[in-house]
Structure 1
Amino acid sequence: MLASFVRAFRWDRTMLLTGLVLVGDSASLLFRDEEGGLAAVVAGRLLVVLGWLALGLRHKWPVPAAGVVLTTAMLYFPMSSVDGVTPLVCFMIALYTCARAGHMAAVVALAVVVMLVIAYGEFVVIGPDGQREVDNMAIALILGWFLSVIAFGHAVRVRQAYLHETEQRALAAERERDVRARQSATEERLRLARELHDVLGHNISLINVQAAAAVHRSAKRPGQTEELVAALEFVRDTSKEALRELRATLGVLRQVDEDAPTAPAPAGLERIGELADRAAATGLKVNVETTGEPPVVPPQISLAAYRIVQESLTNITRHAQADSATIRVDYAPGELRVVVDDNGQGALDGAQGSGIAGMRERARALGGALTAENTGRGFRVDARLPLAEPAEPPALAPSGAVGGS
């Protein structure tokens, strides 16, 4: 128990200043005559010292410390014939600490007890002879001091709570910024992963199919190099295209002070014909159909449609075992629809890989939707991407409505 009191006791500047007040009070006794003898003087000083020491525990136990200070003061003043300021100063400090700690009920109760004790001592115990130790003005001043101390302690507490809340909000905002930064980095990595998957997956799949077919034909008909040379030329051109698109995709990772990539950025809908031609070189018959009036398509929508067709053809050449495919591009008001059908074996349940998931994410990121399903005659990828509605031209005023007097 004693060890806990020692750990809770805190020396601070307030203890030092009130200690100086206590020393001054004690020194003033040398110039005054106090009734009651030496025992009363020693007992009174011990009570004052005990109340002063209780202030060292006010940070750990504010209400009990204030109670001890009040008790020592209530015992001291009736015992001593010489009033000192130390008990009152110590009680004011203890009252302020309780208010700052938020114990407003205890603070009000302690202040009310003090005022009732003073009123009782001045108006009841003193008697009708009129001799009072504390006049009405002093009572009003003491009450004003109590109210001021309580209000100041409460104001300090409110300010500390406000500063703490502001600090917590700043920390929360900083954590939110970090979370958003990590989320943005994750989304950017996913976007780049989709781009690399679409760029490399399509072209390398075509290279693999064409190279495997060329090796197979060369093994069956040795000495005939015409088909082998054509296949190698196709591999050369397709790998060149893959490198070009890869450089353009990785261009977003270049530093600001580096030169911009010289290769053009990956195109969009206008290059779907090239995709069909490259897929046709592998033996797949590809038909491209376009309906509707082509509007001005935003680059990100055009690129997404291109990537969806590219990934669909990649899946067809790698997995579908199809011999024909149809690409339909439909321009409708406010919507671009891209449908890729094939006559292959379709996809088994649960066999849809990351390519289809990437296409879905790409369409969803732009506010659209994508479905991929077996049709009974093959497999279908159906993507719907939103297009901004064209602004209506302003109505022209009738010729007779324009003129002057």
Structure 2
Amino acid sequence: MPPFRLLRRPRLVPVVAAVLLGGLAVVEAWTDPSFRQSFGSLVWVALWIACGLAAQLRWPAAGAVAVAASYPLGELLGAPGPGGAGLIAALVAVAYAGYAGRPRASRVATAACVAVFVLTDIVRAGVSWDSIFFPAIFVPAWWVGSLVRREQDRTREIASLAAQLDAQREATAHAAVVEERARIAREVHDSVAHSLSVMTLQLGGLRRQLGPLLDERPAERDVWLGLERLGRESVEELRATVGILRTPRDGEADLASPVSLARAEHLAADVRAAGLDLALETQGDLTTVPRAVDVAAYRVAQEALSNVLRHAPGARALLRVCHENDAVEVVVRDDGTRSGQADESVRDGATHGAMRAANGGHGLVGMRERTGMFGGTLSAGPVTGGGFEVRARFPIGRGWQ
């Protein structure tokens, strides 16, 4: 995975902060003339800061207090402080605690950090401006972390609600179809089939009454018998039609079930039936994908395949669905060719992809909205060697714990 993607993973923030700020504290101790004479002691303080930040992976609130304790530790070791690196580390730790820790624990940790800094400063230099300055910077840092957490929780709730609405809309549409078919079946059974059945019975009764007369006219009798037979056959056909309308056909029960990556084979079969040479590759357990991500990823795959059908009919395409521990990835790639055409501008995959990208996206906006809702990424464009590729990645379990 590229480094820039790793940096966006929340659990790496304490690790990155521990390395950067611990190193920055050492550099500050070496380059600042007022700190250099206590370089050895400040190295231990820098190591303490790095360990406190790393501890926030498991204990966000306790780790923040540990980082704040670097100030009194430096005083005990006879080192001046707090340095700029130490103060920045404490602010980052408090903000992380506000984001990743339980609300009550993070508030207690923030109050403890403020108390540690203020009391240490009072013991060191007496009451001063810093007694107000430290609360003025620590509390906003905690508030920013809490705000980011609330916004991400709200984003996940909106995504979940959108998935539920999508599933409800499909279920409502299917229920409407079933109800309409049932209504048609009732109409056919109660009106047409009933009338045709009565007419056939009347023909049979009239034939028996006219028996001697029809025996003398065999041609007319055969026509009459044919009409009766046709009436009975029509009644049976209507009854069979009513049964079909009231009983779902093969595969129709799937319409009531919500869309899911676990049904990727059904999606691939539908696309192949439409004339696309499609290969399907799946990896991981697709039945355990969180519901909201499951629906969004399925819709992206559906839209991307629809684009291939519209813009590259006859092309060979690939649908790859991969479920990893921390992400779901959907890839749709086509070779850009169209069977039976010799237009080089179409056969050239790069030109084909540029034409599709220049035409306003053809659903790319909607796909980007779906991936962006979950903090994911979407890339779409020509690929080396010809063709066009859409790659969507949905992160899973983005909450900091």
Q: TM-score range by the shorter chain?
A: 0.3 to 0.5
Larger RCO, structures 1/2 (Cα 8 Å, 6+ apart): 2
Structure ranking higher in helix proportion: 2
Alignment TM-score, normalising by the size of structure 1: 0.45
- Look at both structures and tell me which one has the larger radius of gyration over its CA atoms: 1
Alignment TM-score, normalising by the size of structure 2: 0.46
